Every structure is written in C-alpha cells, then in structure tokens.
A and B are shown apart, each in its own frame.
Chain A
Amino acid sequence: EVQLVESGGGLVQPGGSLRLSCAASGFTFSSYWMHWVRQAPGKGLVWVSRINSDGSSTSYADSVKGRFTISRDNAKNTLYLQMNSLRAEDTAVYYCARDLLEGGSSDAFDIWGQGTMVTVSS
C-alpha cells in the first residue's frame, strides 16, 4: 500500500524549533519529488515547500523562506522539514504529499499523509 506517515509535531514556544518527518512506503520514494503543505485550524491549504527526487533542488513559500529547510534521506525513504524561528502563525497541521509525476514535477499532489499538528504557543 502506498503510504506517507508524518511524525514530529507538538507544542513549541515562539522562536523555537521542530523537525517533522514523513516516512514513505509502498512506492519508489527516490523517484518522486515531495512537498509539504500546511493547514491552520479551520483554514485552507497552504503550500510550504518542495524538494526534487535526489534532494539537490528545493523551493519554499515566501512565508517560510529562511526559517524552514526541507530535506530527504532516500536510503531511509524519509522526508524532513526542519522548522526554526517558529511563530504563532506557523500553527497548523503539516501534511507531506507526493508529486503526481514520477521523475519530475507536476502541478498536483496525489498521495498525502494523515498530517501532524504543530502548535506554536507560549
């Protein structure tokens, strides 16, 4: 079964750091570009970051650029999101998602994890 499972969420103080993980199974992880998408409580979806299949190219939303770092370990079939200098407005459920297109980038995300909640509060 194709599956993504996020972990690492929790409560963190403003200015703090957190690292999210996303474990992939059921497909050739190293062939797919991957994304992080977040959703604040009761709000809409927001794209956060993207990484290519070998980890050599990354992109970020302006709202997180310079604070968040996306990475991956293809040997461990795992995607990461290192989040630093966290702010209250970063509070959200964070989803990892697989790019639709194997070997490249498309406009769509076809497999999603169940999400992990990050709460930034003092």
Chain B
Amino acid sequence: QSALTQPASVSGSPGQSITISCTGTSSDVGGYNYVSWYQQHPGKAPKLMIYDVSKRPSGVSNRFSGSKSGNTASLTISGLQAEDEADYYCSSYTSSSTLYVFGTGTKVTVL
C-alpha cells in the first residue's frame, strides 16, 4: 500500500488561504468518504483537524475545511496564521489489508 501523495511544501502569507492536496486511488481516497487530516508541530503528537472528508472535531477552528473530488482530497486553511505553521498529513481508509494509509506530508510555512 503506497502512501498518499501530498506536495512537500506549501507557503502563504498571514491572512491568505492555502490548499493542500492529497492524491490516492479508487482503493482509498476515491473509494470512501473516510479521509482525515492531521496537524503536527515539531516534536509533538499529531492533532486531528478534519475527519470524514469535511467534518471538524469540536475545538478545531472553522478556518480549516476539507473536500474531495475523485481520488484527490484537499485541506484548505483560510486566514493563515503563524500558529498554522506545521506539518500536515492526510489519511484514508483503504480496501487493502493495511487498513489505513497516510499521506507523504506537507510542510506549511507562514511567510
């Protein structure tokens, strides 16, 4: 089971919006509405930001939103803030025996 494909890095200025893509196949992203997104600051544990493609857990800012089209999911961060600078990983349920696959990760830099 190969990792989902994400851009290595995305950057933006404070207040801007950025979008991170997550590309898989029909066996994972395209086959299920079970995509989630995680934020990870250096040396810290991941934090759930989005689940079921577009749902936000309680306490997560509404500046974070998710969507999906075909085999590609996306995370959009609007009103970019300095604290959003972190690594972001997508994840999807898969039809393979390895039940979950993560993305390659994207480093978000706030300029």
A9 contacts B by Cβ under 8 Å: no
Contacting pair B101 A109 (CB below 8 A)? no
Q: Which residues of A contact B40 (CB under 8 A)?
A: 45
Contact digits for B5-27, partner A, Cβ 8 Å, 1 yes 0 no? 00000000000000000000000
- Main secondary structure, interface of A, reads strand
Contacting pair A62 B45 (CB below 8 A)? no
B3 contacts A by Cβ under 8 Å: yes
A44 contacts B by Cβ under 8 Å: yes
Count how many chain A residues have C-beta atoms less than 8 Å from C-beta atoms of the other chain.
24
Q: Contacts A107-B52, A107-B93 given: A95-B35 contact, CB under 8 Å?
A: no
Contacting pair A112 B105 (CB below 8 A)? no
Q: Which residues of A contact B57 (CB under 8 A)?
A: 100, 110
Q: How large is the interface on B (under 10, 10 to 19, 20 to 34, 35 or more residues)?
A: 20 to 34
B51 contacts A by Cβ under 8 Å: yes
Report B71 CB to chain A, min CB distance, Å. 16
A88 contacts B by Cβ under 8 Å: no
A46 contacts B by Cβ under 8 Å: yes
Q: Contacts A44-B104, A50-B99 given: A110-B48 contact, CB under 8 Å?
A: yes
B89 contacts A by Cβ under 8 Å: yes
Please report the C-alpha to C-alpha distance between residue A31 and residue B103 in the assembled complex, in whole angstroms. 28
A108 contacts B by Cβ under 8 Å: yes
Contact digits for B83-106, partner A, Cβ 8 Å, 1 yes 0 no? 000000101110011111111110
Q: Can you identify 12 A-B contacts, CB atoms within 8 angstroms?
A: A37-B46, A44-B102, A45-B38, A45-B89, A45-B105, A46-B102, A63-B98, A95-B46, A106-B51, A107-B93, A112-B45, A114-B45
